[in-house]
Amino acid sequence: MANFIVSVSPHLREKTDTASIMRDVLIALAPALIASFIIFGERVLLVVAVCVATCCLCEYLFEKITKKPCTVRDCSACVTGVLLAYNLPVGIPLWQAAFGSAVAIVVVKMLFGGIGQNFANPAITARIIMLLAFSGTMTTWTFPDTVSSATPLALLSGQAQGELPSLTNMLLGLHGGCIGETSAIALLLGGAYLLIRRVITWHTPVAFIGTVFVFTLLLGEQPVYQILSGGLLLGAFFMATDYATTPSTNSGRLIFGIGCGLITVLIRVWGSYPEGVSFSILLMNILTPHISKLTRTKPFGGVEA
């Protein structure tokens, strides 16, 4: 008797798997790391290393303790670590970075069931928790020559005094801000890579950035500065496109992006925080199940019951 494998079709699969998608995200994040290393110095690497190591270790230990299959190899914890690090100032104490990473993985991701099950973006939620817990260190922006440097957003909102950096410096990232968010060029490069590799679709970033542009233009702000400053590009390309916590239909992604854009501008212009990207994404994360339900696809030839 032949011992053939009998299984349901299809018997052919595309090569892309979860790990290869996450690897693509890591590759897309690389230019920002290089830019940040050049701008802020080698401490960048230390912070990123601590975050990534803590995230991976927490996931490993959690799965070990709860006797679940180990998923560290899918690289998603690694992505969370990098994203969280990118959202921290370079001078962050390492223990705080590690604490944030543990919160991201254990509380936000694993306790909700692990990859694909969490409703909120782990890196963003952890960042918000850190912002509230360690408001001092989380808002101290240091620049290469250890001079405190206000972020363009603080300058735009009038919360800090000083001169706005030039547009060239904004593009290159030569201004105050979190590790991975300052270099617009590096982030755009990474975003383009994600689009080309079809890891993400254009819907969320275009809707997000477009909304911010139009809304700030209408409000008489400086739209180009608004887009290039803060975590907008990082958020639009890398965090508002997170699979598990955003809608999976294209129309849903458009709504998600527009919502993020609106909330971001509202907070930036009228809120007491200079930055609103994290809050906007978290808020929209919470709305995601409802957006998903509203934007269900219409089956081909389906007849209403």
Partner 1 sequence: MLKKKLNGVHAPHRKNTAGDKPQRIPTPSLVTIPMSMHIGAPAKPVVSVGDEVKVGQMIAEANGFVSASIYASVSGKVKKIDDVLVAGGQYIPAVTIESDGAQTAFEELTPPTVTNTDEFVDAVRRSGLVGLGGAGFPTAVKLKVNDLSKIEAIIINGAECEPYITSDTRTMIDDADFVWEGVKLLQKYMEAKRVIIAIEDNKPQCIKNFREKCQGETGVEVKALPALYPQGGEKVLIYNTTGKIVPEGKLPIDVGVVVLNCTTLADIAKFIKTGMPLVEKCVTVDGSAVCQPKNVIVPVGTPLKDVFDFCGGFKKPPKKVLYGGPMMGIAVPDLDVPILKNTNAVLAFAEEDAVLPKSTACIRCGRCIAHCPLKLMPAEIESAYKAKDFELLGELKVNICMECGCCAFVCPARRPLVQVNKLAKAGLRDYQKQQKELAEKQKAREEAKKQKENTTNG
Tokens 């405190």 sit on residue: 148
Q: Taking CB under 8 A as the criterion, which residues in 172-211 touch partner 1?
A: 201
User: Closest distance between partner 1 and the C-beta of residue 14, in Å?
Assistant: 5
* 3: number of Cβ within 10 Å: 5
12 in contact with partner 1 (CB under 8 A) = yes
DSSP, res 72: G
Residues 290 and 87: their CA atoms lie apart, in Å, by 27
Taking CB under 8 A as the binding criterion, the range among 36-44, 71-79, 164-172, 189-197 that sits at the site for partner 1 is 71-79
User: Closest distance between partner 1 and the C-beta of residue 299, in Å?
Assistant: 4
Selected binder of partner 1 within 38, 46, 107, 115 (CB under 8 A): 115
Residues 40 and 143: their CA atoms lie apart, in Å, by 6
Q: Which residues pair with 142 in a beta bridge?
A: 148
Taking CB under 8 A as the binding criterion, the range among 1-9, 33-41, 59-67, 126-134 that sits at the site for partner 1 is 1-9
Q: Taking CB under 8 A as the criterion, which residues in 244-283 touch partner 1?
A: 244, 247-250
User: Closest distance between partner 1 and the C-beta of residue 113, in Å?
Assistant: 8
148 — phi, psi (to 5°)?
-65, 135
Rounded to 5°, the CA angle 81-243-84 comes to: 20
Cis before residue 10, ω within 30 degrees of 0?
yes
Between 222 and 292, whose beta carbon lies closer to partner 1?
Answer: 292
Taking CB under 8 A as the binding criterion, the range among 100-108, 158-166, 259-267, 297-305 that sits at the site for partner 1 is 297-305
- The SS3 call for residue 148 is strand
Binding site residues, partner 1, CB under 8 A:
1-2, 4-14, 16-18, 20-21, 71, 74, 76, 114-117, 201, 243-244, 247-250, 292, 296-303, 305
